[in-house]
């Protein structure tokens, strides 16, 4: 079992044990730390930590955790202003490649603040662990839809960024930043 596997299972176990703090709807984003070009932040509304990076062509990629439904899930989101034809709530089959590793991802169209994108919230299971291992090991990722390239993205620093997202999530699950306040909604 890899260190990342143990960390992912520890994070999932903490949620199942009821350690997650409840955050008010519409709350802020709290920067946890910068890791190279990556920002690792806690998103209060979704009760999760995400590592994010913007790319030269205008895409932004997020990977981490979403605990907004009382169950901790993974979060993989990619957004781009150029993808205006994406329809919120519609399912899209996306191909992601990390080096020689290929993933067929069932993602849903979303729109955050006017920026369209694709989102999936997988369970913290063996598939998500393999996905994150492939992601952290690769030097680039290529995304496509129906054979059309969405982008070829550099993953410099992805391992350190995802590990920081795990560290951030663990902190908030253990009651960081006021999580032990019994009056917090």
* Residue 16, domain member (yes or no): yes
Sort strands 73-80 and 115-120 into parallel, antiparallel or unpaired.
Answer: antiparallel
Question: 115, exposed or middle or buried, with CB in 10 Å at 0-12, 13-18, 19+?
Answer: middle
Please give the pLDDT value at position 70. Answer: 81
In a domain, 128, yes or no: yes
Residue 70 lies in a domain: yes
**Looking at residue 177, what is its pLDDT?**
61
In a domain, 185, yes or no: no
Instruction: Tally the domains of the chain.
Output: 1
pLDDT tens figures, 147-175: 999 999 999 999 999 999 999 999 999 88
Quick check: is 147 in a domain?
A: yes
pTM: 0.81
Amino acid 26: pLDDT = 40
Sheet containing 59-66: order of strands = 29-35, 38-43, 48-54, 59-66, 73-80, 115-120, 101-112, 91-98, 140-145, 148-154
Residue 17 pLDDT greater than 70, yes or no: no
pLDDT at 21 over 70: no
Segment 84-125, tens digit of pLDDT: 999 999 999 999 999 899 999 999 999 999 999 999 999 999
**Residue 121 belongs to what domain range?**
3-173
**pLDDT averaged over the chain?**
84
What confidence tier does 28 reach under pLDDT thresholds 50, 70, 90?
A: confident
Chain segment 45-69, per-residue pLDDT in tens: 999 999 999 998 899 999 999 999 8
In a domain, 84, yes or no: yes
141 part of a folded domain:
yes
């Amino acid at each position: 079992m890899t260190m990342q596997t143990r960390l992912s299972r520890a994070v999932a176990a903490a949620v199942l044990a009821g350690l997650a703090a409840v955050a008010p709807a519409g709350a802020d984003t709290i920067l946890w730390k910068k890791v190279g070009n990556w920002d690792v932040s806690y998103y209060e509304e979704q009760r999760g930590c995400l590592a994010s990076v913007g790319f030269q062509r205008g895409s932004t990629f997020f990977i981490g955790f979403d605990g907004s439904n009382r169950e901790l899930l993974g979060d993989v989101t990619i957004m781009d202003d150029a993808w205006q034809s994406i329809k919120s709530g519609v399912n899209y089959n996306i191909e992601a490649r990390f080096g020689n590793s290929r993933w067929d991802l069932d993602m849903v169209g979303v729109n955050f603040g006017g920026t369209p994108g694709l989102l999936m919230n997988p369970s913290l299971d063996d598939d998500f662990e393999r996905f994150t291992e492939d992601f952290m090991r690769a030097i680039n990722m290529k995304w496509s839809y129906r054979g059309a390239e969405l982008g070829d993205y550099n993953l410099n620093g992805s391992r350190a960024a995802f590990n920081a997202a795990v560290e951030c999530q663990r902190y908030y699950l253990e009651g960081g930043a006021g999580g032990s306040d019994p009056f917090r909604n």
